[in-house]
Amino acid sequence: MSVHKKAKRVTTQVLLDMKSRGEKISMLTSYDYSMAKIVDQAGIDIILVGDSASNVMAGHETTLPITLDQMIYHAASVIRAAERSLVVVDLPFGSYQGNSRQALDSAIRIMKESGGHAVKMEGGEEISESITRVLSAGIPVMGHLGLTPQSIYKFGTYVVRAKEGEEAEQLKKDAILLEKLGCFSIVLEKIPAHLAEEVAKSVSIPIIGIGAGGNVDGQVLVAHDMFGITQEFSPRFLRRYADVSTIMNDAVKGYITDVKSGDFPNEEESY
Ligand code: KIV
């Protein structure tokens, strides 16, 4: 039986076993109880309470505005639904870049107040001290390299990262460093597929890609994007598995029609 099917609860060790057996890892975002329940019951391995909640839930242009308190609120809602998945929570912008003490305090708040199982932090060498300190408290850390949306104002655009030699070399070094520090996995976002494949082969921890090609250990998407709830975002790497926004739009129109015509509620729907 596959490691995925056998596991009652996905742990960081289960993910390592999956990589070593060549079993791909599935990961999706969720920010609330109802969505997390659907995603968990369908059998996803990892739920990411991503700071993309800043875009998807709150309508901000970037992930920068979301606060630690807001991330804890989202994560606590997801945790109440997740019976089997490993729940990873993003440390939001400004909650860990100050120094390693700040990073530890923020990670502890997430673990204590939301019940999340691990945190994700964007960056490599430049945040190594903070990663080490969070890990030293027994908190599992997932890394995030390549396009790191919390640095969008440094990059200037959301184009593919690490296409050039120097940036690609730094990314490879950072991935090896994150493994050495003790991260249990790394997300690689929007980088060339050949580079992601090379990184996945160079480390024994699982590499989860988003816009990083198919030759990595797993994939992550923003659930609202793959369900077709969000419509304005259509990058090349996104596959839509449903058109939920059309289904919801039709349902709302049907409801409006029935309310206006007096067809809803009928006798059976009344007391
Ligand atoms: O916040 C998020 O949803 C993410 C994924 C895109 C990996 O970090």
Confidence category of residue 164, pLDDT binned at 50, 70, 90: confident
Confidence category of residue 60, pLDDT binned at 50, 70, 90: very high
Catalytic residue among 169, 189, 232, 269: 189
Centroid of ligand 1 to alpha carbon of 6 (angstroms):
27
Centroid of ligand 1 to alpha carbon of 189 (angstroms):
8
Centroid of ligand 1 to alpha carbon of 252 (angstroms):
29
- Residue 132 CA from chain centroid, whole number: 21
Measured distance CA(217)–CA(150) in Å, rounded: 24
Centroid of ligand 1 to alpha carbon of 207 (angstroms):
14
Average pLDDT over residues 219-242: 96
Measured distance CA(114)–CA(17) in Å, rounded: 27
Q: Quick check: is 189 catalytic?
A: yes
Model confidence pLDDT, tens digit, residues 119-162? 999 999 999 999 999 999 999 999 999 999 999 999 999 999 99
Q: What pLDDT sits at residue 119?
A: 99
Confidence category of residue 97, pLDDT binned at 50, 70, 90: very high
Q: What pLDDT sits at residue 233?
A: 86
Nearest C-alpha to atom 1 of ligand 1 is from which residue? 50
Average pLDDT over residues 243-264: 98
Nearest C-alpha to atom 8 of ligand 1 is from which residue? 50
Centroid of ligand 1 to alpha carbon of 261 (angstroms):
43
Query: Which atom of ligand 1 is the closest one to the Cα of 208?
Result: 7
> Residues enclosing ligand 1, CB less than 6 A?
29, 48, 50-52, 90, 187, 189, 210, 220, 222
Nearest C-alpha to atom 2 of ligand 1 is from which residue? 50
Q: Which residue, among 32, 125, 147, 152, has the nearest Cα to 82 in the 3D structure?
A: 32
Query: Which atom of ligand 1 is the closest one to the Cα of 120?
Result: 8
Sorted by where each begins, the domain ranges of the chain are: 3-240, 244-271
Nearest C-alpha to atom 5 of ligand 1 is from which residue? 50
3-state secondary structure the chain: CCHHHHCCCCCHHHHHHHHHHCCCEEEEECCCHHHHHHHHHCCCCEEEECCCHHHHCCCCCCCCCCCHHHHHHHHHHHHCCCCCCEEEEECCCCCCCCCHHHHHHHHHHHHHHHCCCEEEEEECHHHHHHHHHHHHCCCCEEEEEECCHHHHHHHCCCCCCCCCHHHHHHHHHHHHHHHHHCCCEEEEECCCHHHHHHHHHHCCCCEEEECCCCCCCEEEECHHHHCCCCCCCCCCCCCCCCCHHHHHHHHHHHHHHHHHHCCCCCHHHCC
pLDDT averaged over the chain?
A: 97
Q: What pLDDT sits at residue 237?
A: 97
The answer to whether residues 174 and 180 touch, using CB atoms and an 8 Å cutoff, is: no
Query: Which atom of ligand 1 is the closest one to the Cα of 187?
Result: 7
β-bridge mates for residue 122, sequence order: 144
CATH level 3 topology of 3-240: TIM Barrel (3.20.20)
Q: What pLDDT sits at residue 2?
A: 81
